[in-house]
Structure 1
Amino acid sequence: MSVRPHPFFSGALFARKSCFVYLPEGYEEDTDLSYPVIYLLHGMYGSESHWLLKGNAEQTLDQMIAASQLRKSIVVMPNDGGYGLGTFYMDWYDGTGNFEQYFIYDLIPEIDKHYRTINAPHSRAVCGLSMGGFGAFALSLRNPGLFGAAASLSGALTSTAYVAEKFSRSDIARMIGPLQGPYAQEHDLQICASQRVLDEQRPALYFDCGTADFLYKTNADYHEHLNKIGYAHKYQEFPGEHTWAYWTEHLPDALSFIEGCFASQK
C-alpha cells in the first residue's frame, strides 16, 4: 500500500515523463510474487495526480483489496502525454504527438521491466474517466491482445458523427483529420467495436454514466450499438453528473468488473 512516482523517458514523444505507481501491501516483502496491472487514466485538463488528489483512488484500492473485492494489483496512473487540453491517448493526425505509441511502446514496457507484473493480457486492464474512458476503449480495441479488460466512467465514447455534431473545432481536426477520412474512421469507437466483435482477443468492456451527465446520450448510444452488433459487455446507469464525486463513488464498480475478468482466467 504505497504510491511512488516513476519517471521515465518516452521515445515516442522524445520527452521525459512520469507516472504514479500503486504497489499493494506486501509487494516489497514477498519478492517471488507477480501481480496483475491496472492502468487508470485521467480526463481532459487532468494529470497523473488527479486520481490520487481528487478521486480517492489510493484509499479505494486499499479498501477493496483489504475486503478481498480486488486482488492485490499494481495500479499505474499515467499522464496522457501532457499536450494541450488533452491528447485523448491517440496519435494525432497532424503529427503533433504519438500519444498512443507513448502508451503502448514506452509506458507499458517500462512498467513491465521495473515491476513484477504478470505480463499477459488476461492480467492487464485499463480504466479511465471521460477522455480517459475514450482512451481506455480506444487503446484496448485498437490493440487486440494487449488488454483483457477495459472500463470507462462517463466516457467520451464517441463516433465521428458525434464529433461532427459537438466538437467540429480545429483542434479536433488536428487529432483525427477529415471526419469522413480513414484516420477518423480508425478511431471511431463504434467502428472499432464492430471490427473487434468476432476477435477471440477482444477486450471485455464495462462502462457506466450518470443520467444527468452531458455524455449520457453517447454512452447510451454506445450501449445500443454494442447490443446491435452482439458485443458482450456490461453497462450501468446511475444518478449523477460529470463530477469527481461520481467517479469516486463508482470507481469500485469498474474495479469490481476488472476483478471479475481477472478471476475468470484462473
Structure 2
Amino acid sequence: MPSAKPLRLASVNVNGVRASFRKGMGEWLAARDVDILAMQEVRASIEDLQGLLGDDWDILHDPATAKGRAGVAIASRNRAHIHRVELGAPDFDSAGRWLEADYEVGGRVLTVVSAYVHSGEDGTPKQVEKYRFLDAMEARMPRLVEHAELAVIVGDLNVGHRTLDIRNWKGNVKKAGFLPREREYFDRFVGAEDAPDYNAGAGLGWVDVGRRSAGEVDGPYTWWSMRGKAFDTDTGWRIDYHLASPALAATVKTYTVDRAAAYDERWSDHSPVVVDYAI
C-alpha cells in the first residue's frame, strides 16, 4: 500500500455479500479507492469472495460455525503478515465474528479487526452470548495495543453507545442494542459521556472515530430497518464503528458514512463507514 496518501479503511455489514454485489456493492467499491475492506455478515465462502472481488485483493475470511450465518472477512491491496481468529475462552464459539490481521503500512504495523457482535435479545440465551462476546472483546483490547501501537476494531458492534446514536432512543431503552449494561461496555472502551476525558483517554483509552469526527450531533446513523420509512425519515442507529487506538486516531483525516442517495439504491441495511488514516 502506498504511504504517500492516507490509507483508506472501509467497513460494512454486507448482509450477505453475494446479494450485495447483485444490488450494486461492486460499483460502490470500484469507485471508492479502498485499501482495506472489512466486512461482516458475509454469509459466503472465501471462493465466493475471491470471485466477487477479483485477484487484486488478498482476502482473509473467518466463516461462522453454522453455514450461511455471520462470517467476517478482511480484503486488502497487500498481503497480511499475520492473522488471528481466536477470541475468548476455548469453549467460546466466536467463529465468524472476530478476525484480526496485521499489515505493514509506511514501515509500521497496523492491526485491523473486523468484528461482528451478536444482535442479542434481552432475557434470552442470545443476550448471554452477546455479553460473553463483549467480555472477551474487552479482555482482548489491551492486548491489541500492546501488540501494535496502531490498531483499530471496525465493524457492526450492535450497540448504540449514547442517545445521539439512536434516533428513537426512548423507545429502545429496554431492547437489545441500547440496554444499559451493553452501553456500559462502551463506557469502559472510550469513556462515559460525562467523563472529562471521554473519547480522549478515558476508559481503556480507545477512540470512537465516528463520534470524535462528527461531534455532538445526532448520528450519523449507519443502519436503518428495511421495513417502513426508517431510511427515508433517517430513523436509524449508529452501530457500525471504527474504534481506534490513540496513536491511530491521531492520524484520522476524514470520516464518512456512505449513505445511499435513496432507499432503492441500498445494497445492504447498513452503510459503509470509510475512514482515511494518514499513517
Larger strand share, 1 or 2: 2
* Same fold (TM > 0.5): no
TM-score (structure 1 length as normaliser): 0.40
